[in-house]
Amino acid sequence: MALTTQEIVNKLWNLCNVLRDDGITYHQYLNELTFILFLKMAEETDYNDKLPEGYRWEDLKHKEGIELSTFYRELLLHLGTKTTGKIQKIYNNAQTSIQEPANLRKIIKHIDELDWFEAKDEGLGEMYEGLLEKNASEKKSGAGQYFTPRPLINVMVRLMDPKVGERLNDPACGTYGFMIAAHHYILKHNDIYNLSEAQNNHLQTEQYSGCELVGDTHRLAMMNSFLHGMGGNIALGDSLSSYGESIKNKDLVLANPPFGTKKGGDRPTRTDLVYPTSNKQLNFLQGIYRSLHTRGGARAAVVLPDNVLFEDGDGQNVRKDLMEKCNLHTILRLPTGIFYAAGVKTNVLFFERGTTDKANTKEVWFYDMRTNMPNFGKRTPFTESYFADFEKAYTAKDRNKIKDERFSCITRATIAKKNDSLDLGLIADDSITKAEDIGEPIDIAKEALTELISITKALNAIIKALH
């Protein structure tokens, strides 16, 4: 019986329980699964001839016991050191945490017995992204920090409308979710079979790029791009180091940079940022708008936490610089609870790089999707349907004609008067009693005093009676 992609994902994920006795974490399991799956996928997708002979799925699946364990370790080392390109990147520094040969055998056997026909039909990339999503939603895995909710990614990609021939980048790409969603979008909105050879070549080699700092996450990103049939322009490195200075001339950046400050309060080592700071998001934001070309039409959509909108000092300087160099036309205030880290307040900044570096932002439109919204979580899943009103407002030919209390426009001059703070555009919260309903402060104080006097009298009467 053919299995759906989701059923395959569940089966593969449940195999993790086999490894619990080996003390393997979810994150290690996903890496382990990637090493083994790659061999199986190479066989399923006619990629086998790219693998060195003797180190393929066929060679692995017939071994048992100690021989299997020894061969598996040798295979990981060989593929990580004696190969090139994608294979080398996926097996770079690959090590196994599986101690028990019987457990390894069980995983190989399960993978071999699965009916891959349906999954190939739906796309092997979908299956792998399903595993990444499982890992991110598993609180114990700690992978939520690398994972942006799919509904949010899809909306950002749709509104940014990537085109064939453009150069896209994500300087903190995690498992490559933004670039893969952009690739899906481009395949859906273009007749790929009618592209010229040059366009096709660009799509494979230059259309998408990313950078990821964490080795294991970089491996997952490489596997993800491989299973989606994309070129693997994913650097293993730090966009806030000198490498970041080479990310230039981009048409579109989509990103959700990591939250927090650099360890030990260090500043970035790249030298091209005007306001280097220990706040990573401010550095990423500067790097992003610097990486966009100035020919017109270069744009970005970036997820950033609230502190970027109101922080003084470097924060204020970076916001001013951003509004000078770019037209920061829209800020979406996102609901809380949509990221796996609880209580994180985030926003999406949408901006377009100007052809000059002066006075590009005249006004900023704010959309409040945070106030008076449901509490998102397992019971109330966060879906794309919640973005419908925002998308309607964002794409309107004349935004002034949109009647939506959540949508408001604030001029650059007004923002300047507020110390360039962008922590604006939130509507009244229904759950907080409106101040005007309570009355004037003087009346409240008088009323409280009257009550205190009567309580004091009553207490005195009780003391008197007890005496």
> Over the stretch 201-226, which tens digit does the pLDDT of each residue have?
888 888 999 999 988 889 989 988 88
Q: Are 299 and 182 in contact (CB under 8 A)?
A: no
**pLDDT beyond 80 at 21:** no
Average pLDDT of every residue of the chain: 87
pLDDT tens per residue, range 103-126: 889 889 988 888 777 677 667 888
Q: What whole-number percentage of the chain has pLDDT above 70?
A: 92
**6 — pLDDT class (breaks 50, 70, 90):** confident
Nearest of 309, 241, 249 to residue 271 by alpha carbon: 241
Alpha carbon distance 419, 183 (integer Å): 40
Burial per residue of 187-213, b for 16 or more beta-carbon CB atoms within 10 angstroms, e otherwise: eeeeeeeeeeeeeeebbeeebbbbbbb
pLDDT at residue 75 is higher than 60? yes
**Phi/psi-derived region of residue 295, left when phi > 0, alpha when psi is between -120 and 50, beta in every other case:** alpha
Higher local confidence (pLDDT), 336 or 262: 336
State the pLDDT confidence band at 378, using cuts at 50, 70 and 90.
confident
CB-based contacts of 15, cutoff 8 Å, min separation 6: 33, 106, 107, 110
For the residues 282-293, what does the mean pLDDT come to? 96
The answer to whether 255 touches 170, Cβ cutoff 8 Å, is yes
Phi first, then psi, for residue 351 (nearest 5°) are -145, 160
The Cα–Cα gap between 296 and 292 comes to 9
Closest CA to 132 of 233, 223, 25, 254: 223
When mean pLDDT is compared across 13-17, 402-406, 432-436, the lowest value belongs to 432-436
Rounded Cα gap, residues 186 and 161, in angstroms: 8
Q: What is the pTM of this model?
A: 0.85
How many C-beta atoms lie closer than 10 Å to residue 109's C-beta?
Answer: 10
Q: Which of 44-58, 268-282, 384-398 is most confident?
A: 384-398
- The conformational region for residue 424 under phi > 0 = left, psi -120 to 50 = alpha, else beta, is beta
Among 136, 58, 48, 187, which Cα is nearest to 341's?
136
Average pLDDT over residues 159-183: 95
Assign 141 a pLDDT band (cuts: 50, 70, 90): low
pLDDT at 28: 81
pLDDT of res. 287: 96
Q: Does position 11 have pLDDT exceeding 70, yes or no?
A: yes
Does the pLDDT value for residue 318 go beyond 90? yes
Query: What does the pLDDT look like over 416-438, one tens digit per residue?
Result: 999 999 999 998 888 775 555 55
Counting beta carbons within 10 angstroms of the beta carbon of residue 131, is it exposed (0 to 12), middle (13 to 18) or buried (19 or more)?
A: buried
